Amino acid sequence: MAIPTVDLSDFLSTNPVRKKEFVQQLGQAYGEVGFVAVKNHGISDGLIEDLYKHVQQFFSLPLEQKRKYEIGELAGQRGYTSFGTEHAKGSDAPDLKEFFQYGQVAKNQFLEKLYPPNVQVNQVKFFNKTFEGAYRAFEISATSLLQAIALYLQLDEFYFDEFISNGNSILRAIHYPPITHEPKTSVRAEQHEDINLITLLVGASADGLEILTKEQVWVPVTSLPEQIVFNVGDMLQRLTNNKLRSTTLRVVNPDRSLWHTSRFSIPFFLHPNAGMSLACLEGCIDAANPKSYSDATAGEYLDERLWEIGLKK
């Protein structure tokens, strides 16, 4: 499926016509598909190449070494999470993946109380340095994209800035290992919606990502190497009272001829700070679209979802 493509340089330009057209294209794409490919996103090819190289080096370590970076009390929000731990909301079947998560770096004592330190990987040279660089680059691109969404929602352009500055965002590296025996299902990661405000996904080492269309048909999603894929998560769906719908997605097994290969994927989940209210925006509520969700903060909602997907026990 060819997904709509937007050029972030249009939004960042000083030309008001280009900027307005970008916002309109973004809104139209979400109304029709729910997924957007972004080019000129500001994340360099070299940084992405280094990120994937270090991720593959990490996941190739022996399991006993990787498990040294798995810290149970962090509920998967920092460091390593072993194969089969996480499952989709409403499903008991574990996803066929392992992953590593890198989060916000505390810059002061207040943030140190909110966020645990990132887990330092010693066996892979420049691992944490590369993750921090990638985290910052994703954060900048995501901020611009949320500014465009704010304008589409007829809010102040910088409405989201205060909530996502020093927010609880996560950079997740996922490894789907080779399939070594006949699987019980054709799905590696069951259908789900992302928890956060928006997700940015930079490529993947192999196909497998599918989205559910409005017609309830699963279609594969591909993007060009120089693009990132950008989709809406559940927090933004709640905030906009379903005006912007969270995208339903899954990852399926490859053709049998590729069972011996791994799949790597690196999404950036943009989260606000825990205190942000997700109460439905007044401008998204009317007689035809009554309020669909109870009020909650981002922190409360995240905690609820971590229990539902098995990361908190």
pLDDT (0 to 100) of residue 222: 76
Residue 2 has a pLDDT of 64
Question: Residue 42 corresponds to which amino acid?
Answer: G
Whether residue 22 contacts residue 233, with contact meaning beta carbons closer than 8 Å, is answered with no
pLDDT band at 139 (very low <50, low <70, confident <90, very high): very high
Residue 60 has pLDDT above 90, yes or no: yes
Q: Which of 139, 141, 143 is nearest to 157 (CA)?
A: 143
**96 φψ region: left (φ > 0), alpha (ψ -120 to 50), beta (else):** beta
Average pLDDT over residues 273-287: 95
| Sheet with 218-220, edge to edge strand ranges | 187-192, 249-252, 209-212, 218-220
Contact yes or no for 118/78 (Cβ under 8 A): yes
**Rounded distance, CA 176 to CA 81, Å?**
12
Nearest Cα residue to 160 out of 272, 299, 307, 31: 272
- pLDDT one-digit tens code per residue, 69-85: 999 888 878 999 999 88
Question: How far is Cα 302 from Cα 44, in angstroms, rounded to an integer?
Answer: 30
Take residue 48 and report the two structure tokens written for it. 């992405």
Topology classification of domain 5-308: Jelly Rolls (2.60.120)
Q: What is the mean pLDDT of residues 240-244?
A: 93
Q: Is 138 left (phi over 0), alpha (psi -120 to 50) or beta?
A: alpha
pTM of the model: 0.92
What pLDDT is recorded for position 198? 95
> Is beta strand 98-103 parallel, antiparallel or unpaired with respect to 79-81?
antiparallel
Give the mean pLDDT of the chain: 90
Domain boundaries, the chain: 5-308
Q: Which residue has the higher pLDDT, 111 or 228?
A: 228
Identify the pLDDT of residue 146: 96
Average pLDDT over every residue of 229-253 = 92
Distance (Å, whole) CA 268 – CA 291: 29
Q: State CA 17 to chain mean position distance.
A: 30
Decide: residue 268, CB within 10 A, 0-12 exposed, 13-18 middle, 19+ buried: buried
